[in-house]
Amino acid sequence: MQKHTDSQQYYQQTCNQSLSCPTFSGEKEVDLCIIGGGLTGISTAYHSAKSGLDCVLLEAETIGFGASGRNGGQVSPGQRLDQATLEAKVGTAQARHLWQLALDSVDLVRELIDTYQIPCDFTPGILHTAFKPSHAQEMRENVQLLQSRYGYEDCRYIERDELSEMLASSRYHGGELDMRAGHLHPLNFTLGLALQAQKAGASLYENSRVLDIKSVGDKLSITTAQGKITTRKLVLGCNGYLGKLFPKVAGKIMPINNFIVTTAPLGEEQARALIRDNVAVADSKFVINYFRMTPDHRLLFGGGENYSSRFPADIKNFVRPYMLEIFPQLEDTELEHGWGGTLAITMNRMPHFQCLDERIYVAQGYSGHGVALATLAGKLIDQSIAGDPSGFNAMASYPTPTFPGGTLLRYPALVAGMLYYSLRDRFGN
């Protein structure tokens, strides 16, 4: 697995939260053990501790080390598939339930920020932009469906002329603006929620990599380098960093690497000239571009992926062509930060929720939609353990196929698939 070097990580350099988390050692018996210190694990720890469970979280690196602390910071309603597709796949009633859960996920993030005054620069608004004319028509139809059948008035369709006033790029053909959505500093949000989990009574441990998971009677034994935990319930919140820890679910996801840069500070005037209303932007390419302004008026731009165990040697120059395709006027602008992270996708782009043997909860494969949905996952897991599995089961009811060939053949299959879709991005309508 790629070992991150974070000297060029903007979020690390602008972090305003601090935690004290020891390394786990010794032996302990608990109600719930959580593996993974990203938003899935941290949210589970917070909600479970609030519910009175004795819970322990084990993180191999540091809290927020993975995708939760290094992503684009976009907090978006909706599932990864649009509602028309969901209705066709699972029927109207189930599609409506999934839509409501996705709304709940955004509302939960905003509620946590407001309740605990987590200083993570939450700013309303995400603009989804159409990379092709056909995508613009699909967005127009999606907005009409959401407004007419779901009563959702927080989004509206943006015609190309208006879009050109909002965004200083000629690359897009229309868009949809969602003001219930927003963007934030993901590492500060993750650490801020982790602090509340600690205050609620959860025990968080860093540098405590799990080496083995075994079933012992009706309980589970979790082994780290320096200790052992016996638990009634287990949560796997590792996502793209699961590796070979739990092969039964590893084949449901594909870890991929994504990359982000920030420019030097542009000043408020130039920042508003590029993105007038300070909304976040995500386009409709299969391998999407996503970008927004930071509070210090840098353009934070995510673009490009790879599927190997290594990051590009020069991330800034790897991402720069994607940025210049959207904003060619930034050709002479210095890039000050460049970093990467590993997320997990599923074959159908819907997250993988599963409960195994009534003891092991899995939530992973958010496919780029994880800030909100991973936060919700922790709440749904806690509710399920407490006896109300309706929300968790609704997410789990959408089937997640295993990649053909499991973990052995998924990489060559994915690379071939991504090549196909990149050609469609380039030459399709």
DSSP string across 309-333: SS--S-HHHHHHHHHHHH-GGGTTP
pTM of the model: 0.94
Tens-digit pLDDT profile for residues 300-311: 999 998 877 789
Q: How far apart are CA 370 and CA 342, in angstroms?
A: 12
pLDDT at 404: 74
**Which of the residues in the chain have pLDDT under 70?**
1-7, 405-429
Region of residue 282 (phi > 0: left; psi between -120 and 50: alpha; otherwise: beta): beta
Domains and CATH numbers, the chain: 10-70+188-252+348-417 (3.50.50.60)
CB atoms within 10 A of CB 381: 29
Determine which helix (DSSP H) or strand (DSSP E) holds 106, and give its type and residue range: helix 92-116
Residue whose pair of structure tokens reads 């939260």 in the numeric block: 17
Burial of 41 (0-12, 13-18, 19+ CB in 10 A): buried
pLDDT at 428: 55
Could you tell me if 284 and 135 are in contact, meaning their C-beta atoms sit under 8 angstroms apart?
A: yes
pLDDT at 368: 82
Determine which helix (DSSP H) or strand (DSSP E) holds 291, and give its type and residue range: strand 290-293
